Structure 1
Amino acid sequence: MHDAHVHINLLGKLEIVPMARESDDTEHHHRITATKLRQVLVLLAANAGTTMRTDQLIDELWPAGPPQSVRTIVQTYIYQLRKLFVHSSQSPQGRQLLATDPDGYVLSVPRENIDLFRFQNLIEDGRAALRENRFGCGAEMLRECLELWRGSMPADVTTGPRLRGLSAFLEEQRLEAISLRIEADLASDRHVEIVGELRSLVAVYPLHEVFHLRLMQALHGSGRRGEALCVYRELRSTLNKELGLEPSSEVRKVHHEILVGQ
């Protein structure tokens, strides 16, 4: 069963947001205080619509080794979450949002009701728009995507190996979304407007070549050729000092184009 009356937000602090009833114009965020119960919910929500095997839950919750009667403990967590969904969805059928199958459990909240999946879908849509040279549309999709990001996922949940891996993956996706949005802005001749943002990104991510590349392009497009060349020299020095590497061929190509005034 899909219940459209529950939204789950994972990008930042964990939130369970039931849709407001017709007689109530406010949203009520349900708070789960038990540490491992929060972990279980995040795992299930991050895999919504697919089976989360019991052994996967156990490995995440107790990476150093499970306690005795561990399956009974997991069943208790599932029971508590089902009660929460009944309350959140304002319907006895909310219990059906979390189903048991022979291998584990399936959360049936629609993926469009979970911010993680909306975030990923908007990245894909934005990337597709850029491929089709719809730069303004792509930039808007990517801005909408980045507005969903309230912080690292999950910001207030204890993590085991599976959630740590997912958190690292999503951070890389966030940086890609920023890079794609900047690419769309450059294609729309917004060079001057994004120089400040790019300088901040370069300071925070000194080894991220793409941000340096985009800053070089933004500065050059703003008529600041000398500063663009300075960015290249700083990047080359940092990469050599920290990693013993030279800038990538793409960065070197842009550097050459700036040097010859293209």
Structure 2
Amino acid sequence: MANHPGVIHFVPGCHAPHTNVHISSLRCSKQVQLGVIVKFYLLGPLRVTDGECTVTPAAPRLRSVLALLLLHNDHVVSPELIDEELWPHDRPVNSRTAVRTYVYQLGKLFNRAHTLFTVEPNGYAAHAKWHELDITEFELLASSGRHALEEGRVRDGSATLRQALRLRSGATLSDVPHGPVLGPLVEAVEADVHTVEALTAAAVGPAPFAN
């Protein structure tokens, strides 16, 4: 496949061009253009897919920035908050430059189908669509399921709640270190999941996933 200007190509086992990001797993037999069908999975180990390919960044701090931005999807995250997560004790003098570089790398990796990661006047933001982020899907399904139960539609409600729980593959961001910022966010997500599990169990029996 010929290279085209402005398009980032990846070859299995190689580093991402123009970044120092290593693609942790790329199960494809051909070069891949990122961002065509991007999906971010946080309800379990961190995973990013592009169609049939797994394109999850491997660099630890880049993974933390990715998780932090996605947990604040469509909201601006300040540089101070990212600094606190990445360097809670000994912050380097060039921390702001490093953070900007991480977000730039995320843009290089994933801003293909549309602008997923942006630099804002007071920070940075992720703009994943509802079908690109499993947590957003979970929240929509959980809300719909609760509403159905409140209306007395137990069968519909429990089925929708089970559909939400099937999005989960393990503990939230189980392979990403939780610092002082990510930790409480992950705990809040886990609390929401356990609430949905309890609602499902009360309606029809044990949920399909439990710790």
- The secondary structure found in structure 2 opposite 1:118 is helix
Alignment RMSD: 2.0
Q: 2:48 aligns with which of 4, 16, 35?
A: 16
Deviations 1:22-52 (A, max 9, x none): xxxxx10102111000000001111111111
Q: Which has the larger radius of gyration?
A: 1
Among 146, 162, 166, which residue is 1:127 paired with?
146
Q: TM-score, normalised by structure 1?
A: 0.62
Count of aligned pairs between the two proteins: 175
Q: Which amino acid aligns with 2:71?
A: A
Compute the TM-score of the two structures, normalised by the length of structure 2: 0.77
Aligned counterpart, 1:84: 109
* Greater RCO structure (CA 8 Å; 6+ sep): 2
Native 8 Å contact 2:62 2:102 kept in 1: yes
Deviation at 1:4, TM superposition (A): 7.2
1 CA distance for matches of 2:170 and 2:192? Answer: 13
Q: CA deviation at 1:65?
A: 3.5
SS of corresponding position for 2:77? strand
Name the structure where helix makes up a greater proportion of residues: 1
**2:63 counterpart SS class:** helix
AA in 1 matched with 2:192: Q
Find the residue that maps to 1:7 and give its secondary structure.
Answer: strand
CA distance in 1, matches of 2:60, 2:150: 43
Q: Is the 8 A contact 1:12 1:153 kept in 2?
A: yes
**Residue 79 of structure 2 corresponds to residue 48 of structure 1:** no
Runs of 4+ in 1 over 2 A off after TM superposition: none
Q: Tell me the distance in 1 between the aligned counterparts of 2:157 and 2:147.
A: 8
Over the matched positions of the two proteins, sequence identity in percent amounts to: 33
Offset of residue 157 of structure 1: 0.7
Aligned-partner Cα distance in 2 for 1:140–1:75: 43
Give the conservation status (yes or no) of the 8 Å contact 1:48–1:111. no
Q: Secondary structure at the match of 1:52?
A: coil
Contact 2:172/2:189, CA 8 A, preserved across alignment: yes
Give CA deviations for 1:182-209 in whole Å, capped at 9, x if unaligned.
2222xxxxxxxx4xx49xx8xx8xxxxx
Change (3 A) 1:4 1:120: farther
